[in-house]
Amino acid sequence: MSETYERTIKPILPKTFDENEWFAIFITELVLSAVYYVTIKNRKLLWSQIICISLLNLQMTTVGDYFLAMPPYDFYDTVDRNSGELTDVFLQNIVYPGTVLFIMHWYKRIPLNKLSFLVLSVLLLSTLEGISVYFFHLFTYKSWKFYYSVIFYTITMVLNLVFYEKLHNFLQGRMAAAK
């Protein structure tokens, strides 16, 4: 049993349980509350849109973190280790997709032009990353620069806007044809 623990469990546990794990727990609870609000209490998106947006962003975070945080690129470490740990599961599966889902809910709800929405969403995502990096050490930049994140979030949100618009038009057409 001890050998199994050493080989399988210990490598994914935090080296030390410190401010980055507490911040990850806090931000996970905050995002879960936000997702609950936009999916149950005040839903403006269709369930199909919620699922598709969530899956798109789950895919992008998983693939993005794999390529950007692992060799050969290895631009940054997440939390305490360079190869992932248990906290990464919550960040990749809840925090990243949930935050974008929350943002897309507001895109549907508040009539802003696309450029304003894009600027505000990139500013929000960049600010959240800045807080997580500079105050809670959730990421350790190696060769990554903060402005790369701004570029990355711009691309991510453009993809989300295009995806949402195409999905919305597709679903509207299907619903109109069904009538």
pLDDT tens over the chain, length 179 residues: 788 887 887 777 777 788 888 999 999 999 999 999 999 999 999 999 999 999 999 999 988 888 888 888 889 888 776 667 788 888 889 999 999 999 999 999 998 899 999 999 999 999 999 999 999 988 889 999 999 999 999 999 999 999 999 999 999 999 888 87
Half-sphere exposure of residue 121, counting CA atoms within 13 Å on the CB side? 28
Place of tokens 């701004």: 150
CA distance 126 to 20: 17
CB–CB of 136/97 below 8 Å?
Answer: no
What's the pLDDT tens digit per position in 72-102?
888 988 877 666 778 888 888 999 999 999 9
Helix axes 96-109, 47-69, angle to 10 degrees: 140
pLDDT of residue 86: 82
CA distance 88 to 129: 15
CB–CB of 163/100 below 8 Å?
Answer: no
Query: Measuring CA to CA, which residue among 97, 106, 95 is closest to residue 37?
Result: 106
Domain boundaries, the chain: 2-178
Q: Where are the alpha helices (DSSP H) in the chain?
A: 2-4, 19-36, 47-69, 86-90, 96-109, 114-134, 146-178
pLDDT of residue 83: 64
